[in-house]
Amino acid sequence: MDTSSAAKGVRIFLERIHGVLNRLDTSSLTTIAAVHGVCFGGGFELALVCDLIVADKMARFCFPELRLGLIPGFGGIPRLKRDIGNGVVRDLLLTGRSINATKGLSVGLVSQVAAEGEALRAARSTAMQTTKFDSGTSAAAKRFIKPLPADELRCEIDIFCDLFMRPAVMEGLRKFVENTGAHPYLP
């Protein structure tokens, strides 16, 4: 496949993913991510689409994409910026380190930390609470407080596509595939 076709294919793929995630992000329903274990990369980006994140104490969050010569491409950076301080976003992106749920709670990423294995129960309890309000009112509040960062999301796709064509990506992918270490997500 030539470079031009590959670039076009990547863009089409990203736009499809963004389309799905943007619809979830702007749903009139209140959405809650129940997270346990490793929530890295695309999984983290899916959680960030939701209105609330309830994590059990064994959850970990990470954007490891830079080790592949890429940035998160499914809307992770604009959505993370929407939720937490820019300094923490820079820390996660530029170091590629993972943080646990307790740290996530302290920086405002996670709404609640549940005991191990209890995230789904806690999320359902929270969901039940949100159903007590008029749905139209909740939807209006959500539209007001959680605007879709549309311009930044489009910009993220452009940056991802530019980076994808660089040799560093193939080198990063090769290293990841060949890595037999205990931390393959770290450079």
Partner 1 sequence: MKTIDQTTDEILDLAATHFKFPRAELTPSDDFYKKLAIDSLQALELLTRLENHFGVELPDYEVQGVSDFHTLATRIQARL
Stretch touching partner 1 by CB under 8 A, among 17-25, 44-52, 139-147, 178-186: 178-186
Smallest distance from the beta carbon of 117 to partner 1, in angstroms? 13
Q: Which of 18, 60, 79, 142 binds partner 1 (CB under 8 A)?
A: 60
- CA nearest neighbour of 109 among 138, 141, 85: 85
142 touches partner 1 (CB under 8 A): no
Distance CA 104, CA 115 (A): 15
185 touches partner 1 (CB under 8 A): yes
Active-site residue flag, 45: yes
Active-site residue flag, 178: no
87 touches partner 1 (CB under 8 A): no
Helix, strand or coil, per DSSP, at residue 38: strand
117 touches partner 1 (CB under 8 A): no
Give the residues across from 100 on adjacent strands: 60
Q: Which of 58, 71, 105, 163 binds partner 1 (CB under 8 A)?
A: 58
List of residues contacting partner 1 (CB under 8 A): 37-38, 57-60, 95-100, 102-103, 181-186
Residues with a catalytic annotation lie at 45, 65
